[in-house]
Every structure is written in structure tokens, then in C-alpha cells.
Amino acid sequence: MASEKLNIIEQFKNLDVLKMDRRTFLKAVAALGATSFVSVYGNQLASALTFSETKVLWLHGAECTGCSESALNGEKPEFADALRELNISLTYHETLLAQQGIFNDGKLVNTSDLNAEILLHDLIEAGNYILVVEGSIGNGPDGTGKICMYGGNTFKSVFEHAAKNANAIIALGTCATYGGITVTDAATKKYCDFKGVMQTEQDRNDGMLQLLKINKPCVNLPGCPSHPDWLFLTVAGILLGKLDLTDPSWLDADGRPLMFFPQDAVLHDNCPRRGYYDRGVLDKDIAQGGCLWKIGCKAPYVHSDCALRKWNDGTSLCMQAGGPCIACVEPIFPNGSMPFYEEKERVEILFGVNMGMVAAFVIGAAVVAAGVHAVRRMKKE
Ligand code: SF4
Ligand code: SF4
């Protein structure tokens, strides 16, 4: 494994990241991961971005802050180093802001003239920033947005103000991209009416941007949480001019970068437990060490590079740690992938909740692939 990594680094280390065409850049970020990308191209990044500081405003809507946690837990590069490598000024991030408020003028944030709401308002008015949105945006009840308040304002109105003045938007995590856990089927779902930035779980054209008639380029980086590499490498690509936000050909139909969410492969293809699947060693309970298909693994339907990139600085991933994939990067998560720990052989049952919509644009070729695998597996039983 280590020698495989060295070979990959060897392949890219003599290339000039600034002169790469987009195709080569996409290959490099997909193969290297953030850790090796920084070790191979760190100096080039530093010289390219020294004179072009980028402002980032990071807003939290309806969410659990897990995507911030994930970004902050990134190890190589660490979050602060990633900001430095890319010459980013994180001007607003609510979870980290309390300290900024205290130190801005020595008073506690809520008693200060420099409180968070005033600071945010001024930053938005100044414009010229990338907006990162973590969490969905509440439209309910009845279009008021009052289900999610941000200080004295609705988050819907704060998002509207910030989105209108942004140069570009990154929707981070499945709540911000498609609604995620905030649109889990419940009696209150219609009342809350949470929406992703560009789309919802059921409709690619029903995001908050469309509702507010705001036309801004947006990249979707789903995941519950999203991977720190996906964020770092996407921002690096944008800042280096390799990922053109006006040309979405590097994004899939759900707004995800194809280099991390390939449409011609599914997560199951590279699972470390794949050998067990092929030999029909299918666990019936947790902690048995075989393939997790029968206890609910949805990876045969999922497009993501989790199994190659892995988590916690390349240490492990859900299936490796014994947990079935719950399809957290797909628009149908979580309604379409529940119950999480039940085998779902037939696609119409797996995605039964929204089958008409899902069949049209979510699973595509993955269904065929998974169907073929299911037939192969059944023959072996
Ligand atoms: S079904 Fe899940 S656990 Fe089994 S091989 Fe595929 S991805 Fe791995
Ligand atoms: S393996 Fe599946 S559940 Fe785990 S992070 Fe990747 S897509 Fe999400």
C-alpha cells in the first residue's frame, strides 16, 4: 500500500500544478488526496496564491456542525494549515467566532458593538467572498423561514443576503446539498420545509437559490459529514483556476465533483470486504468480519471515493470499521437508505420512498451494477 502511494506521488511530482490542464489536475487530486497534494505541490501553491487572499464566509443553517468538525479534524493538512496553504481568510465561521468576538474589542460578543450579526452584515456588504453553507435552509412555516432563526433574523434571509453578494457558493454536507437529516420523513417535515442550497432530495430544481431566484455558481460536497479532502481540494482547484465554476462539466448531475463522486464506479468496487462478497461470505450480524450486504450495506448503489481515500487521514472507512455504508453522500439519504441495517436487494424497495424521482437521476448505472452483483451473489449462496 505504501509503495502504491509512492508510485502515485512519483507519477505526479515532476508536474507543474500551475501549468496542468484540467484533465491532469482532476487526475492528480483524485489520486493524491489532500495530504500528498500538499506535500507534492505545497511550494507551488504558496507562490501561486501569495498575492491573492480569498475571503471565506461560512454559515451554519439547520445542521449538527459535523461538517465543521470533520474539516477541523482534517490532519494533513490541518484546518489552519489548509487555510494558510490556500491563503484563505476565514472571515466568518459561527462556531469559531465567539472567540473572535471577545478579542475584537475586549468585550463579550453579545454586549459588543462588534457582535456577530453586525460583523456578518458588514462582511456580506463588502462582498467578494466564497460562501460556504453548512446545513439546510428552512423555508417553513408557509415560506416565512421562521423555523430556523439566526439571531433576530431568519436563516433564510441571512442566506439570501450572503448568497446574493457571494462570488461562488460551496454547499457542504448532505444537509446543505440535498436536505440530509433535516428532511428525514416526519410529521413536521412539510411544516419545516428545509431545502438544500441548489436542490432537495426529490427535486434538482427546488433548492433555496431557485426559490429566491438567485443565480450563483454552486458546488455540492455532500456527506454526513463531508470529507475534509473534498473541501480542501475543491477550493484549491477553484483558486488555482483549474475548476471553472462557469463550466460545470466537472460536476455530476447532482452538482458533485466527478473526481470524488465518479459516475462510472460505485463504492462497493473498492471495498476492503469485497473479497468476502465475491465468495458469498455474508455476515448475518455485526462484528463477524465478512461482507455487510445482508446487514444493510448500500455501497453497491453509492458513487463516492470513500474506499480509496478513506477517512481519518486515510486510516479507515465505514465498512472497514464494521459499519454498513448508509449512502450518506446520495441525495436520497436518509429516507431512501433507511432502514440502515436491513438488506435491500430490490432497488424498488431500497428507493421505494421516491422511486419515480430516484430512478430518474440518482442511481443510474449503479443500479445496474448492483443488480448484476446481487444476481452473482445469489448464485453463490
Ligand atoms: S456490500 Fe458493502 S461490505 Fe460488502 S463488499 Fe460491498 S461495499 Fe463492502
Ligand atoms: S462509506 Fe458510505 S456511509 Fe460511510 S462516509 Fe462513505 S458514503 Fe457515507
Q: What is 291-303 written as a DSSP string? A: B-GGGT--GGG--
Q: Looking at the CA of 309, name the nearest ligand.
A: 2
Q: Using most ligand atoms within 8 A of CB, pick from 304, 319, 340 the residue to mutate for ligand 2.
A: 304
203 with 300, same domain? no
Distance 293 CA to ligand 1 centre (A): 6
Residue nearest to atom 2 of ligand 1 (CA): 297
Q: Are 26 and 250 in contact (CB under 8 A)?
A: yes
290 with 220, same domain? no
334 with 218, same domain? no
Number of domains in the chain: 2
69 with 216, same domain? yes
Please indicate whether residue 211 or residue 1 has the higher confidence score (pLDDT): 211
Assigned domain for 260 exists: no
Assigned domain for 16 exists: no
Assigned domain for 281 exists: yes
Question: Which residues face 219 on adjacent strands?
Answer: 170
Q: Are 353 and 335 in contact (CB under 8 A)?
A: yes
Q: Which of 177, 165, 164 is nearest to 204 (CA)?
A: 177
Assigned domain for 203 exists: yes
81 with 189, same domain? yes
Assigned domain for 219 exists: yes
- Residue 205 identity: N
63 with 188, same domain? yes
Report the alpha-carbon distance of residue 75 to residue 68 in Å, rounded.
Answer: 13
Assigned domain for 90 exists: yes
Could you say which of 166, 194, 226 is where a domain stops? Answer: 226
Read off the pLDDT of residues 172-206 as tens digits, 9 standing for 90 and up. 999 999 999 999 999 999 999 999 999 998 889 99
Q: Which three cell numbers stand for residue 60?
A: 451554519
* Nearest atom, ligand 1, residue 291 CA: 4
Please tell me if the CB atom of residue 67 comes closer than 6 angstroms to any atom of ligand 2: no
Question: Which CATH number fits the domain that encloses residue 277?
Answer: 4.10.480.10
Please tell me if the CB atom of residue 162 comes closer than 6 angstroms to any atom of ligand 1: no
196 with 89, same domain? yes
Mean pLDDT of the 66-78 span: 91
Please tell me if the CB atom of residue 325 comes closer than 6 angstroms to any atom of ligand 2: yes
Assigned domain for 242 exists: no
Could you say which of 193, 226, 259 is where a domain stops? Answer: 226
Per residue, the 3-state secondary structure of 250-268, as one string, reads: HECCCCCECCCCCCCCCHH
Assigned domain for 25 exists: no
Could you say which of 194, 210, 226 is where a domain stops? Answer: 226
Could you list the residue range(s) of the whole structural domain that residue 83 is in? 49-226
Spatial neighbors of 106 by CB under 8 A, at least 6 apart, are none
168 with 295, same domain? no
Please indicate whether residue 136 or residue 24 has the higher confidence score (pLDDT): 136
Mean pLDDT of the 90-115 span: 63
Identify the pLDDT of residue 55: 93
Question: Which CATH number fits the domain that encloses residue 220?
Answer: 3.40.50.700
Which whole-number Å values give the CA distances from 119 to 91, 97, 116, 156, 188, in the listed order?
A: 9, 10, 5, 18, 33
Read off the pLDDT of residues 13-65 as tens digits, 9 standing for 90 and up. 788 888 888 888 888 888 888 888 888 888 888 888 877 889 999 999 999 99
* Nearest atom, ligand 2, residue 307 CA: 1
Distance 330 CA to ligand 1 centre (A): 17
Read off the pLDDT of residues 226-251 as tens digits, 9 standing for 90 and up. 999 999 999 999 998 899 988 999 99
Please tell me if the CB atom of residue 306 comes closer than 6 angstroms to any atom of ligand 2: yes
107 with 186, same domain? yes
The per-type count for the chain, helices as H runs and strands as E runs, is 16, 9
Q: What is the DSSP letter of 147?
A: T
Report the alpha-carbon distance of residue 360 to residue 80 in Å, rounded.
Answer: 41
Residue nearest to atom 2 of ligand 2 (CA): 325
